[in-house]
Amino acid sequence: MLWKAARDSTTGRRRLLLASGVWVCLVAACSDAPEGGAPHAAEPSVTTTRTVEPEREETDRPVGEPAPSNVQPTPLLAIDTHADTTQRMLDEGADLTRRLPDGHLDLVRMREGGLGGVFLSIWVDPRKYRGERAWRRTLALVGAVEELVQQHPEVAALCTTGDEVRAAFTAGKAAILMGLEGAHGLGTDDVDQALARTRQLFRRGVRYMTITWSTDNVFGHSATGRAPSEGLTDVGRALVAELNALGMIVDVSHVSDATFEDIARTATRPLLASHSASRALAAHPRNVTDDMIRRISAGGGAVCVNFYAQFIDAAYRARRRRVQRRNPQDFSDLSAQHGHYRGRATAALALAQQLDPQLGYPTVERLADHLAHVTEVGGPGAACLGSDFDGVGELPSGLSDVSQLPALRAALEARQLPVAAIFGENVLRVLDAQRAAPAAPAP
């Protein structure tokens, strides 16, 4: 039984309150970088029970006396808006109710790290799947998520609204939502068919859509595509209008600056950047500018910071890439040795550190810098978490998987940042806003 200490607001006395492990999960789609835990023994399936017991008072302690070492932090409704673990569920048959031997996320480690929610990513690799094959892949990923909650209703619930997320949290379940990363996953360039398929995904529970991934598509242009100066297409404008009409969040991560501008001018609901860091702190086209942060926040949206080491630390990225450029054959050989990007990424990082012992590595404090900057620029409602777990291979030191999330919480609390808002409340506000009447487009 886990207890936490709290102070009675009327008497000032310390109390012990029962704190149960509670969760929330949400689902989306992506893999930011094809580059990239010791194995654990398999554990029994996760089961969660919630026992309500009367509060009991603790013996008063003198002011300033430290609390017992087993006192736990106040539970938060924590939500991660982007993880690519869905690929593992479909391709590897990964059972998220058990501790996985590698990777970044499963329900066991979520519970250990205090993560209530995660948007699991519905991402289709456009290099492998096109047209109808892409659409079939999208539906298969959605089906894998549905199967998770259908087979394990005692620990997971598919959610589509903020109220459902909160109810799952209260019941001690993982609230699972979905988001499509990249409209290319619709598998069509026909506008009517694209809108029909968008409505179909909405009915299945998908609650955000990223317009592009790392490549341009028929709907718009990517920050890392061939024409980053170009924005939304006519088909893309029709798609954004349909998303606003449905109440599906428009995700602006990955899009070009011009595409962002077009979306910001036409959107009638709050926007979300599901996994983007600050460009002011780390210059990269995948990151968002201060102006974007202000505009997203002013419209009621939020920027969820990506944990990828090369997106949060430009100096590390530059030095890391220099090592790879100087030793191209060594890194090329890793592709033949490791079939999956996770193993390849881990090996690539180890090789880079071997070749350059002074390479260094960004820490969780650098990630906290980005969350602090987004909060400073956009206000307390602006920042949120968008890890990109299982979609990237290099995470900050001290945050190798979701079980180590308390290290980030401690870093934010040390800076007196609005932790509850950053960890979950801001995302729920954006989700709730999709059910309200849409606003007028920006002039």
In the chain, the domains with their CATH numbers are 76-313+362-433 (3.20.20.140), 315-360 (no CATH)
Q: Mean pLDDT across the chain, nearest whole number?
A: 86
Mean pLDDT of 187-191: 98
Instruction: Using a pLDDT cut of 70, give the percent of the chain over it.
Output: 83
pLDDT category of residue 6 using cuts at 50, 70 and 90: very low
pLDDT digit string, tens, across residues 298-352: 999 999 999 999 999 999 999 999 999 999 999 888 877 876 777 788 888 889 9
Q: What is the pLDDT of residues 16-57, one digit of tens each?
A: 333 334 444 444 444 444 333 333 333 333 433 333 333 333
What local confidence, expressed as pLDDT, does residue 71 receive?
A: 52
Question: Which pLDDT tens digit goes with each residue over 76-93?
Answer: 999 999 999 999 999 999
pLDDT band at 126 (very low <50, low <70, confident <90, very high): very high
Least confident piece of the model among 196-200, 217-221, 271-275, 437-441: 437-441
Which range (85-89, 351-355, 402-406) has the least confidence?
Answer: 351-355
Work out whether the CA dihedral 163, 399, 364, 412 comes out positive or negative. Answer: positive
Q: What is the mean pLDDT of residues 406-425?
A: 98
How would residue 210 be classed by pLDDT, with cut points 50, 70 and 90? very high
CB-based contact 33:344 (threshold 8 Å): no
Over residues 96-123, mean pLDDT? 94
Q: 383-385 and 249-251 as β-strands: parallel, antiparallel, unpaired?
A: unpaired
Q: State the first-to-last Cα distance of the chain, in angstroms, to the nearest integer.
A: 55
C-beta separation of 230 from 201 below 8 A: no
The Cβ of residue 349 has, within 10 Å, a number of other Cβ atoms equal to 18
Higher model confidence: residue 26 or residue 383?
383
Among 50-54, 138-142, 181-185, whose mean pLDDT is lowest?
A: 50-54
pLDDT value at residue 72? 63
Residue 13's pLDDT band (boundaries 50, 70, 90)? very low
Task: Record the pTM.
Answer: 0.84
pLDDT at 135: 99
Of 273-287, 318-332, 351-365, give the range with the top mean pLDDT: 273-287
Distance of CA 303 to the CA centre of its chain: 11
Q: How far apart, in Å, are the Cα atoms of 73 and each of 2, 5, 109, 181, 216?
A: 11, 8, 17, 33, 44
